[in-house]
Amino acid sequence: MFLLFKIEDSNEIKKQRKGLISEEIENTFTTLPKDFICSISLNIMNDPVVIVSTGQTYDRSSIARWIHQEGRSTCPKTGQKLVDLSFVPNLALRHLTTLWCQVNGLSHDSPPPKESLPKVFQTRASTEANKAAISILVQNLAHGSELAAGEIRVLTRTVTETRTLIVEAGAIPYLHSLLKSQNAVAQENAVASIFNLSIDEANRSLIMEEHDCLESIMSVLVSGLTMRAKEIAAAALYTLSSVHDYKKTIANADGCIESLALVLRNGTVRGKKDAVYALYSLWLHPDNCSLVVKRGGVSALVGALGEESVAEKVACVLGVMATQALGAESIGREESVVTGLMELMRCGRPRGKEKAIATLLQLCTLGGAVVKEKVVKTPALAVLTRKLLLTGTDRAKRKAVSLSKVCKGCDQNTQR
């Protein structure tokens, strides 16, 4: 059974798939929700829009022809005079009609050009239309509809108002349940929807307060069915950890830091970036610093300096970590850190070079004598530092001057 419209996938669907056109049309119109039909064309709406003046919904092409080509200025359904002839897209209803057609094996025109999404919420009528459509989706999500989860994921990508309607309709507990699904697509849709909802600050507490939801997100991060699902879980943990009070809870969850380190090592470029941001956010809580070191977070970040796609971001994060003695000492103990930062100084963009030399300076300042010697004794350091003095950004030049003084001081101490 397809729960969204309570249509049984029985002989009707089988006949449609066999191409019995006359029976397909007959059966379609006995089960097609009336709200999907344009009252002008009497066909299913491919691109539903809401009339601003009256709140009625029609297919875009039909109402455009009614107003602009036929020169009418009244609402086809109500007969009301249209003070405002403009209309806005009914995005939620558009998704529902597309989904219904897919399930029933019917063709549906390709999506219309992207609109300015916030316009959907300019009127009370358009908001109510979207609220009703979202309510149907969430009701069917409650029955475990994996297709509904996919539609929720699409809608959560849009604007804050849509995400608010989805949360108010009670979607979070049902998305939480789908995180445990053994269907890879359903699991990915659920974790992506939760991530998208967490973009809005007001939703973060609702997600964290949902019983065992954090544990389920963590389960996807640790043992998700696909790498993409793991990466999205990392992104969700990053947004949730932006609330200071949640940083410690998240960092202490079983397998969190180790799994973020694995995503940083093995994920896609996008996933690696999300893992970098998540580790950085967790580090910002003072109680988490030793945990990030102990569980391999720092090692993974230093290793990622060799990844061109994230090296600049990693250098920036390491620079922040190195402002604490624990961070500087831990980073300095990593064998590849100096060569990784030097390579960024050699081949990176101006901002990357600036971050690299700033981090090296922090390592010399707070990393202890062993780390300091390790940095200043690197053969190519003097050449790269002089080059930045000539070609670097203003900040890079200042850091280069300071690092040169550190190196000079070390040389004088060695001679004594």
Residue 285 corresponds to which tokens in the numbers above? 């809580």
When comparing pLDDT for 35 and 14, which is higher? 35
Question: Does residue 121 register a pLDDT over 50?
Answer: no
Domains of the chain, residue spans: 331-416
Taking only the tens place, the pLDDT of each residue in 125-169 is 667 777 888 888 899 899 888 888 988 998 888 778 889 999 999
- Backbone dihedral region for residue 111 (phi beyond 0: left; psi -120 to 50: alpha; all else: beta): beta
Distance between CA atoms of residues 139 and 142, nearest Å:
5
9 DSSP assignment: -
* CA-to-CA dists, residue 236 to 71, 146, 202, 283, 365, angstroms: 50, 20, 14, 16, 35
pTM of the predicted protein model: 0.72
Helix ranges (H only) for 241-268 are: 244-251, 256-266
Taking only the tens place, the pLDDT of each residue in 82-100 is 877 777 788 777 877 777 6
